[in-house]
Amino acid sequence: MVRLEKLTKTYKTGDQALKAVDLDIPEGQVLALIGPSGAGKSTLIRCLNRLVEPTGGKAWLGETELTSLSQGRLRKARRRIGMIFQEYALVERLTVMENVLSGRLGYVGFWRSFLRRYPQKDVDEAFRLLDRVGLLHMADKRADELSGGQRQRVGICRALIQDPDLLLVDEPTASLDPKTSRQIMRLIVELCQERRLAAIINIHDVALAQMFVQRVIGLEFGSVVFDGAPDGLTPDVLTQIYGEEDWEATIQKDEGRSSEEVEESAW
């Protein structure tokens, strides 16, 4: 589904954010990308939809090679890649509906979007998605009237209404409380399963990642240093990714507890 081949990004400052990353993601797989700040997590997912231009290597989404696309084709490819942002990144002065419908911008013409006259099918889908995340009654509220968790749900609707094949998720829970964080993660994972979507989730919360995903990639200084199942994250592996620490309290303890009951102190 998604294949990275020696994907490299060197910033103008000379910082190598990604060092020839190779990665293969099959259809429908939800993958967590962990690593310390500055490891290149954000850069990696932004290179896929080219909000950041990669400086080397290749990236495939299905049959499409993304790094060499012209502007017009890039727009078409971006429609197939939904993105969910840290701090939600809703356009605050637009309504919830406008924010959700903005996910259709790649499909509708300028005048339709300018006059907010979306095809009824898009409007219905927006209503359906808002209902799915429990925000239908908020449709005409302005985005800045919503709480953090609600905003992130709208962000999820905006990404899904694109009808994407791949979801890029950048620190979805970074500014949410522990309970809301889990709800949002659960929602994202559920929706991915419903729609057989592949997803790359950047997340700094290791315990949360372990709870919800099938596969974890550890990134350090722009290189993949771990690739495996969540329970492969031993203290040694975490030390390799993040550096020396006491990791016992962070790692998910599964004996005798469901994954929902991991100590809150670890957050």
Partner 1 sequence: MVMSVDHVQNLPSHSELKYMLGRRWRKPRFIKRSWLRWLLGVGALIYLIAAVMTVEVNWSRVYEGLDRGWKFVSAFTSPDFVSRGSDIWEGMLESLIMTVTASVVGIAISIPIGLGAARNISPLPVYLICRGIVAISRALQEIIVAILLVAIFGFGPLAGFLTLSFATIGFLSKLLAEEIEAMSRVQAEAVRATGASWLQWINYGVQPQVMPRLIGLSIYRMDINFRESAILGLVGAGGIGATLNTAFDRYEYDTAAAILILIIVIVMAFEYLSGVIRARVQ
**Interface residues toward partner 1, by CB under 8 A:** 49, 51, 75-79, 81, 83, 85-87, 89-94, 98, 102-107, 110, 113-114, 155, 158, 162, 168, 206, 244-247, 249-250, 266-267
**Min dist. Cβ of residue 81 to partner 1 (A):** 7
Q: Determine the Cα–Cα distance for residues 79 and 164; give it in Å rounded to an integer.
A: 6
CB of 156 to partner 1, least distance (A): 12
- Nearest distance from residue 164's CB to partner 1, in Å? 10
**Residue among 173 and 250 whose Cβ is closer to partner 1:** 250
Q: How far is the CB of 176 from partner 1 (least distance, A)?
A: 16
The residue (of 158 and 182) whose beta carbon lies closer to partner 1 is 158
The angle, 0 to 180 degrees and rounded to 10, between the axes of the packed helices 148-160 and 178-195 is 10
* Identity of the amino acid at 265: S
**Residue that has been written with the tokens 């908020």 in this structure:** 138
The torsion defined by the Cα of 39, 45, 48 and 53, in degrees rounded to 10, comes to: -50
Specify whether the CB–CB gap between 245 and 206 falls below 8 A.
Answer: no
**CB 109, min distance to partner 1, A:** 9
In angstroms, rounded to a whole number, what is the distance separating the alpha carbons of residues 261 and 64? 42
Q: Please identify, using beta-carbon distances, which residue of 186 and 267 lies nearer to partner 1.
A: 267
Q: Give the nearer residue to partner 1 in terms of CB position, either 19 or 241.
A: 241
- Whose Cβ is closer to partner 1: residue 107's or residue 127's? 107
Single-letter amino acid, residue 94: L
Residue for token pair 């925000």: 135
With contact defined as beta carbons under 8 Å apart, do 250 and 234 qualify?
no
Q: Each residue of 101-112: b (16+ CB within 10 Å) or e?
A: bbbbbebeeeee
Q: How far is the CB of 17 from partner 1 (least distance, A)?
A: 17
Rg of the Cα atoms in the chain: 19
Cβ distance to partner 1 smaller for residue 23 or 89: 89
